[in-house]
Amino acid sequence: MIKTAFRALLLTVLTVYFCSAQDAPPDIRIANAVAKTTPFPKYLAYRHFLAYVDALDKRAIAARSTDSYQFAKPFASHAGLATAELDVLRNQAKLMMADLKKHDEIARATISAFRANALAAARSGKPIPPLPSEIRNLQRARTALLVHNYVELQTRLGPVASTRLDHYLDYEFVPHISMKPVAEIAPRHAGPDMVPPFPANQQ
């Protein structure tokens, strides 16, 4: 029972950190409404695209391709990017992924510590501690990190190449990604081992 309850607890915490990267309200019903009606944020489009670029580059390296720009073949001509611009794109993708890895490792450690404390409190019959402000601060810092990488890339590409890439993302890349609603946790009857859901003001 405790294990089942803590899956729900962890889902709530992870939703606050990873699924609210735009400072969306933490209530899941509101978050779902936002996901259905809000245009896809530009910095998130670039986050997904840079991750895609990095994955393509790693795949080309693993395949021992002799073409330095093999990674860009799925999108380079569509986006109208020259080799110098592809170098900028690849480098920014690597920087962003490294930044995200460091940041998310810190976040996961913070969430794990909170989960352990909450589990210990539940087992001893004490109230579950409120969600630490550090988790929200890390979520905001993650958003700032993504915005920074987006701005850095546009600056390094210059206005002409940035406009072409924006057009490609808007019309050929973003339509294939979506902000999926977060599944709501079914209400459960409280029991001795159950962890109650967070009140809205604690999520």
Task: Give Cα 110 to chain centroid, integer Å.
Answer: 16
pLDDT digits (tens, 9 = 90+) for 13-63: 554 455 444 444 444 344 444 445 457 889 999 999 999 999 999 999 999
- Of the ranges 18-32, 113-127, 171-185, which one carries the lowest mean pLDDT score? 18-32
Contact 140, 26 (CB under 8 A): no
Distance, in Å, from the CA atom of 19 to the CA atom of 13, rounded to the nearest integer, reads 10
The residue among 40 and 171 whose pLDDT is bigger is: 171
Q: Give the 3-state DSSP-derived string for the chain, with helices as H, strands as E and coil as C.
A: CHHHHHHHHHHHHHHHHHCCCCCCCCCHHHHHHHHHHCCCCHHHHHHHHHHHHHHHHHHHHHCCCCCCCHHHCCCHHHHCCCHHHHHHHHHHHHHHHHHHHHHHHHHHHHHHHHHHHHHHHHHCCCCCCCCCHHHHHHHHHHHHHHHHHHHHHHHHHCHHHHHHHHHHHHHHHHHHCCCCCCCCCCCCCCCCCCCCCCCHHHC
Q: What average pLDDT does range 161-189 have in this prediction?
A: 74
Cα–Cα distance measured from residue 151 to residue 144, given in angstroms and rounded to the nearest whole number: 10
Q: Which tens digit of pLDDT belongs to each residue from 89-109?
A: 999 999 999 999 999 999 899
Express each pLDDT in 68-89 by its tens digit: 999 999 999 999 999 999 999 9
Compute the radius of gyration of the chain from its Cα atoms: 20
User: What is the pLDDT at residue 200?
Assistant: 35
d(CA 186, CA 115): 20
Q: What is the pLDDT of residue 147?
A: 95
Taking the alpha carbons at both ends of the chain, their separation in whole angstroms is: 22
